[in-house]
Structure 1
């Protein structure tokens, strides 16, 4: 088969379409013939040499895919050769075939084409596990999403609105903010011109956000805590703004608030399977009913993964960038 390989960390040019050995499914795994994969920030970090795959995972980038099952490993039940699926991966999605633990498979949602389904596994698993399973967002509460135009952001807006929350987003252009509005965002903040703490305070009467989903890390830590409501929950899922920052614990104590940090890729298989099962139970019906949709910015051939990474790093896209085999 062919896959995108990384011989040496570097820029987008480090991604090379090469012939590699076919994978063989092990115990509890299925072999998927990939139709499409999706690009994530974690793939860029891996390409740059900052985010190695967990032990036992494929060395090729790619944290989600869609395709057809072509072989079953020992001990797999409930799936059959020929099934059309999408999957959450620890790696290997930038390839023509990939082995997937059966617990990380999802059926393609009713009414959705197979290519578009590749846009769903990582964002739905990330948003549902963090916003709902960890931070317990409830109807009537306010969610602040940083990077509202991203794949994760566009999904977070839709899922939060679907459960009856009010949604605020930050983004760096009016075009992205308008797209967020179309998806249901109530409060639009241009972080290049506005301070999100001040703007959120104005709109909420000084109350703030009950839950904040943050991809910046250190850069936003102090301001995020300031923007939290009493009993608020800040969930950090990215470090695009750095790893280390000072925090006034007095502010946190006064608000009786919590700072939580999670990652998805390196979790044990049982935890990932539980998240995928929750997504299938709670999110898939919303997609099938038309209340939540995949937001795809563009689709490129997988051999052009370098161009897809350039586009992602420019941050001009809205939603997901897909790669097709």
Structure 2
């Protein structure tokens, strides 16, 4: 089979496409003929040798990739025969090995694919979609809210725009470039601004008039996240789930006290009341299958994984980045 291999941390060009031995499923595992593999921004950082929270760079050489969709092609000892030939999606054991034509994982990590759900959409839903489901439960968005979504054309942001609109909220989307602004308007945003314009916060204020932002969903951090925080009205809720800029949004106790704001790290233990990882994944897959939420996908063939990383780092993608086989 072919796989993407990383022998040294560094630039995207270090990801090489080569032939490797077929993996053999151990007891309790299956081998999947991969049709789609998900790519995360975090994987671009790990590739460069950067530790991200609890995630350390992989031991080298390595094949990146934490999630795949495809067909079960071989069974390890102890696995029920009924899994053979089934279409599945999974978050892989060890969170690696996904950028490949075949991957092995424990049977407990498998989700049967709902009928009619394409492999690439399943990959977008199983982790990114599940995380979105958990964050949305923490956010508790209602029809009375005015929701500002940062990175609104990204994998999580595009789901947040659709979900907030579905809840009846007024949605403000912040995205990078005219094409992405048009995209998020098409997803249902009431207002969309280009974060490449230095005066985008003033544009938001002008569009809202007397209306105040009551919820911010921020995975960008840094200066942009701070400017989003300053758009919150009294009693507003600020939910963080990452910092694509490389540093988290700066929030002080003074911000919280003087403006009666609430700030929450919206992933990890705070998601527990929304359901466990498996429950959230199943909820996201069902929503993708019935069209309640439609994940956006930017596709690259497996052999162009380096190009996928480069585009993701340059913020030149829309929605979830997926490698297709």
Instruction: Tell me the TM-score normalized by structure 1.
Output: 0.82
201-210 or 159-168, which deviates more? 201-210
Within 5 Å, which residues of 2 pair with 1:10-29? Answer: 10-20=10-20, 22-23=22-23, 25=25, 29=29
Residues 157, 180 of structure 1: 8 Å contact kept: yes
Q: Are residues 1:91 and 2:93 paired?
A: no
Residues matched between the structures, number: 318
2:293 alignment partner in structure 1: 292
Look up the match of 2:123: 118
SS at match of 1:99: strand
Q: Report the aligned-residue RMSD.
A: 3.4
Runs of 4+ in structure 1 displaced over 6 angstroms? 74-79, 270-273
Single out whichever of 97-106 and 208-217 deviates more from structure 2: 97-106
1:237 aligns to what? 241
Per mean C-alpha deviation after superposition, the further-off stretch among 300-309 and 288-297 is 288-297
Partner of 2:304: 304
Gap change, CA 1:235 and 1:102, over 3 Å in 2: farther
Q: Secondary structure at the match of 2:276?
A: helix
TM-aligned CA distance change 1:296 to 1:240, over 3 Å: closer
Q: Secondary structure at the match of 1:120?
A: helix
TM-score, normalised via structure 2 length:
0.82
Q: CA deviation at 1:66?
A: 0.9
Matched, 1:130 2:130: no
Partner SS state of residue 173, structure 2: strand
Query: Structure 1 stretches of 5 or more lacking a match?
Result: none
Q: Deviations over 1:11-38 (max 9, x none)?
A: 1111012344554556765432211113
CA 315–74 in structure 1, closer or farther in 2 if over 3 Å, else same: same
In 1, the alpha carbon distance for the partners of 2:177 and 2:81 equals 45
The Cα shift of 1:123 comes to 2.2
Identify if the C-alpha distance between structure 1 residues 271 and 76 changes in structure 2 by more than 3 Å, giving closer, same or farther: farther
1:259 aligned residue: 263
Q: Which runs of 5+ in 2 are unaligned?
A: none
